[in-house]
Amino acid sequence: DAGITQSPRHKVTETGTPVTLRCHQTENHRYMYWYRQDPGHGLRLIHYSYGVKDTDKGEVSDGYSVSRSKTEDFLLTLESATSSQTSVYFCAISESRTGGTEAFFGQGTRLTVV
Amino acid sequence: AQSVAQPEDQVNVAEGNPLTVKCTYSVSGNPYLFWYVQYPNRGLQFLLKYITGDNLVKGSYGFEAEFNKSQTSFHLKKPSALVSDSALYFCAVRDAPYNFNKFYFGSGTKLNVKP
């Protein structure tokens, strides 16, 4: 398995509180991604990074921010959690500018906002 | 615009029979295509990919997929299904070179293999 660790694996938080999820990789891959998985929607891209301090929005970025200060760490922050952000969050990594390589996924973080 | 469609939410097949999970895509440039499998409470695992070359690609666990450029399809196949193949399957595409930073995923197809 690719060296990707997501933390925490499970979290319950209250509406309106900030939450930070962490993705740590040991593969030195350039690209890192945050997805959310919801029934009927498959995987939707929240934000991604193509290098240290280089990030961009995905299709469902509202209410989320990210930071990447080191190659190995990609943080996802829910600025003020809402019930609609209850989901399973996956981090993924990939290498190659040419797009030839696949993405490797972490084990996921199950977030419940009450 | 880039997109992936998996037209079947669920596919049911008997053990030992061939299986097909369908995927069609839309990209602006050249498609780099991928299949992933997800078991309950797990992350996605890579199965196979098409980048260029032979239209029939082989991957893990006996799966294969056929790239069809004219039909913009990349269907996943296996000659003889196993009960252990029951899982959620995702097709994904990368649009090279115009939008290669992102992977676009389909909504997933649940495969049920019955004994």
Residue A28 has a CB neighbour count (10 Å cut-off) of: 10
CA distance A24 to chain B (A): 15
For each of the domains in chain A, give its residue range(s) and CATH number, in order of start: 4-113 (2.60.40.10)
Q: Where does the pLDDT of residue A100 fall: very low under 50, low under 70, confident under 90, or very high at 90 and above? A: low
- Residue A88 in contact with partner chain B when CB distance is under 8 A: no
Hey, what amino acid is at A101? T
Res B74: pLDDT: 98
pLDDT at residue B14 tops 60: yes
What residues does each domain of chain B span?
Answer: 3-114
Distant-in-sequence, close-in-space partners of B109: CB < 8 Å, separation ≥ 6: B6, B8, B9, B10, B11, B21, B22, B88, B89, B90
**pLDDT tens by residue, B35-89:** 999 998 889 999 999 998 899 999 999 999 999 999 999 999 999 999 999 999 9
> Is B90 within 8 Å of A102 (Cβ atoms)?
no
Q: Which residues of A touch B100 (CB under 8 A)?
A: 97-99
| Across A55-66, average pLDDT | 95
| B105 strand-pairing partners | B92
- Residue A83 in contact with partner chain B when CB distance is under 8 A: no
Q: Is the dihedral of CA A109, A21, A2, A105 positive or negative?
A: positive
Out of A22-31, A58-67, B93-102, which region has the weakest mean confidence (pLDDT)?
Answer: B93-102
> Is A34 within 8 Å of A89 (Cβ atoms)?
yes
Which of A97, A100, A108 lies nearest to residue B43, judging by beta carbons? A108
CATH domain B3-114 topology: Immunoglobulin-like (2.60.40)
**pLDDT tens by residue, A31-60:** 999 999 998 788 999 999 999 999 999 999
Which token pair is B114? Answer: 């019955």
Which of B42, B94, B103 lies nearest to residue A107, judging by beta carbons? B42
